[in-house]
Structure 1
Amino acid sequence: MLAIALRLAAMVMLSTMFMLVKLAGEAGVSLPELVFWRQAMAVPIILGWLAATGNLGLLRTRRMSSHAMRATSGTAGLCCNIGAATLLPLPVGTTLGFTTPLFAVIITALVLREKVGPWRWTAVLLGFVGVLVIAQPGGAPVPALGLAAGLGAGLIVAVVSFQIRDLSRTEAPIACVFWFAFYGSLFAAILLPLYGTAHGTYEWLLLVAIGLAGTLAQFLITSALRLGQVATVVVMDYTALIWATLYGWTIWGHVPSAAMWLGAPIIVAAGLIITSREHFLARRVSPTSAIDESVTEEAAQGT
């Protein structure tokens, strides 16, 4: 029960972070700045916490290149997550993030050449039907760039999940979180001279709050995974849609469309089918389990 409570709290913090991201984007903060400060804020917080608890040794690694590669793809996923949050209504962006298990199944079958049965293939098809319903082709479609960002986030987080699965064999979870934030902030810093602008007190408060909310969500997710079964706590991720809808309605007056009410449950149902099948079939770490761990570092997720 404690693990579930921690996971629920993590979803509140992630939804809050994306709400703050959307507000900051509307206030004129560029995407590279959002990515940089989201990552950079986590570095001193994690270092301070590890120093205070005497656990700095957990950051030692012999796989620095693997961390850098994981940060490269993870930062791309974070860009997509933030892009979806700024371009789309929050419930739509959140729902598109739920496509990660669908892409994980496709990668498992086509790239890793593992057997995928009819249950999971059916779930994949069902999930993308839900995406089509939300996209409303031929009707009043969602912005194409926002749709691409949302689906891109789902795909990249699925790719990152397999990188995390590999790293988790030798690295402490907090090390994966820290080096992702460290390298991610370095990558984003390259673009700051081109996109960075002066900000007022309001914008800086938003940026600080984004960093704090994202880092707290990471710690809550890590704690939940330490105390509970992945297949149990991962189901709680779908509660993020409740908070995204609440924020969207109260702050921006976004009322979910009929297409959203129909498409979102279809995507959620597809993800639940995949999660239950992975839990039933696999005794080893499954793609769904790795996806869940990857959310520790992702903002969409994401991520």
Structure 2
Amino acid sequence: MVLLRVLIKPFLNFSPVLQAVGLMIAACLFFSLMAGVIRYVSDSGMHIFQVVFLRNVAGILFFLPWFFQSGLGVLKTKRIGAFGLRSLFGFASMLTWFYAVSLLPLADAVALNFTAPIFGTILAVVVLHEVVGIRRGAAMIVGFIGAMIILRPGLTELSIGSYSAIFSAVAMACSMTMVKLLSRSENTAAMVALNQILIIPMSLIPAIFVWTTPTFDQLVAILIIGLLATVGHLCFTKAYTLADASIVMPFDFFRLIFSALIGFIFFMQEPDLFTYIGAAIIFASSIYIAIREARVSNADKDEKKKAILAQTKAENRSGPIR
């Protein structure tokens, strides 16, 4: 722990925005490496249900030093229902994402995963009754076109891996909505740890029916997955608490770059041109949506500040109430 503090101390001197960017790029690297190890474990014969369960168990192991130092009291929350809902969405996203990674080239799975912000906007309209203007609506349509370029329905056969990647993006959008709400009052590390704790019993049930004794190599790979996932989620969650999504989100494109490199180097996967074109279109639309939402949010905050200031001035002019 002392060595870790020494290594990250210079990083803490950077501005919050630069810290958020650095954390996001690091998270992209960790998640891409994790996807590569997941593909390796899947190719070795372990069922995805078992991989998901053991990944969460391994993730908790890396939180044990933090539990011993801080105590289990850090997990106390008055919003257990919100945590449970976030974990349910997270489990669904994780399960379908792992399955997609086991079937698709890594770059293809990541490219389709970029549709999450588009689904997040749809979710805001349906659940939160937000009004989507022409610009955001157009951006959603453009993003959908990008997904169709990758999938090319009618020209190529749609695989269950593609469906899994898209479903994972939908579940991720739901999960990230909950993360943003919880981050207003909850500790970053506690959010990640409690999420994994709640997912363990969810993932145990399907894992029981396909259980096989892991080999030594598989156990080592699972531990690596747990480490990469835990550190990646800590970096990802902290990045979103340090800066607005419109600043952090553009750097999520590094996931495609890292994943394409890992897929090519270790699995001889070569994504076609359509994957890169579709991913660029999806990502551009997602960035526009994020920037647009940030501007609307800032405008709403400014209007509220002006209203409060006007009310305060009016009260000062009228004098104290006797």
CA contact (8 A) 2:59 2:196 kept: yes
Inter-CA distance 93–282: structure 2 relative to 1 (3 Å threshold) = same
CA contact (8 A) 2:53 2:200 kept: yes
Structure 2 partner of 1:133? 149
Structure 1 partner of 2:297? 282
Inter-CA distance 128–264: structure 2 relative to 1 (3 Å threshold) = same
Equivalent position to 1:124, from 140, 143, 146? 140
- Further displaced range: 223-232 or 90-99: 223-232
In the superposition, the TM-score normalised over structure 1's length comes to: 0.87
CA contact (8 A) 1:58 1:174 kept: no
Equivalent position to 1:156, from 171, 174, 190? 171
Equivalent position to 1:40, from 40, 51, 57? 57
Q: Which amino acid aligns with 2:140?
A: V
CA contact (8 A) 1:68 1:179 kept: no
- Further displaced range: 8-17 or 261-270: 261-270
Check if 1:263 corresponds to 2:258: no
Structure 1 partner of 2:259? 244
Structure 2 partner of 1:182? 197
Structure 1 partner of 2:208? 193
In the superposition, the TM-score normalised over structure 2's length comes to: 0.82
C-alpha separation between the residues in 2 aligned to 1:194 and 1:50? 31
Equivalent position to 2:34, from 17, 27, 38? 17
Shift of 1:226: 4.4
Structure 2 partner of 1:62? 78
Q: Which amino acid aligns with 2:25?
A: L
Shift of 1:12: 0.2
Inter-CA distance 42–149: structure 2 relative to 1 (3 Å threshold) = same
Of the two, which has the highest radius of gyration? 2
C-alpha separation between the residues in 1 aligned to 2:180 and 2:27? 21
**After superposition, where does 1:36-115 map in structure 2 within 5 Å?**
36-52=53-69, 54=70, 56-115=72-131
C-alpha separation between the residues in 2 aligned to 1:279 and 1:207? 38
Equivalent position to 2:46, from 25, 29, 36? 29
Inter-CA distance 166–276: structure 2 relative to 1 (3 Å threshold) = closer
Question: Aligned Cα RMSD in Å?
Answer: 2.0
What secondary structure is seen at the aligned counterpart in 2 of 1:198? coil
Inter-CA distance 233–163: structure 2 relative to 1 (3 Å threshold) = closer
What secondary structure is seen at the aligned counterpart in 2 of 1:171? coil
Check if 1:204 corresponds to 2:233: no
Structure 1 partner of 2:20? 3
Inter-CA distance 21–49: structure 2 relative to 1 (3 Å threshold) = same
Inter-CA distance 168–220: structure 2 relative to 1 (3 Å threshold) = closer
How many percent identity over aligned positions?
27
Q: In the TM superposition, what whole-angstrom CA distance separates every residue of 1:155-209 from its partner, at most 9, and x where no partner exists?
A: 1111122323333344323222122100101111122321111222221111111
- Further displaced range: 162-171 or 178-187: 162-171
C-alpha separation between the residues in 2 aligned to 1:19 and 1:48? 27
C-alpha separation between the residues in 1 aligned to 2:172 and 2:74? 24
Structure 1 partner of 2:310? none
CA contact (8 A) 2:188 2:234 kept: no
Inter-CA distance 282–71: structure 2 relative to 1 (3 Å threshold) = same
Inter-CA distance 55–119: structure 2 relative to 1 (3 Å threshold) = farther
**Over 4 Å off, 4+ runs:** none
Structure 2 residue ranges without an equivalent (≥5): 1-17, 301-322
CA contact (8 A) 1:19 1:247 kept: yes
Q: Which amino acid aligns with 1:217?
A: G
Structure 1 residue ranges without an equivalent (≥5): 286-303
Q: In the TM superposition, what whole-angstrom CA distance separates every residue of 1:209-267 from its partner, at most 9, and x where no partner exists?
A: 11111011122223433444432222111110001100111122111112212211111
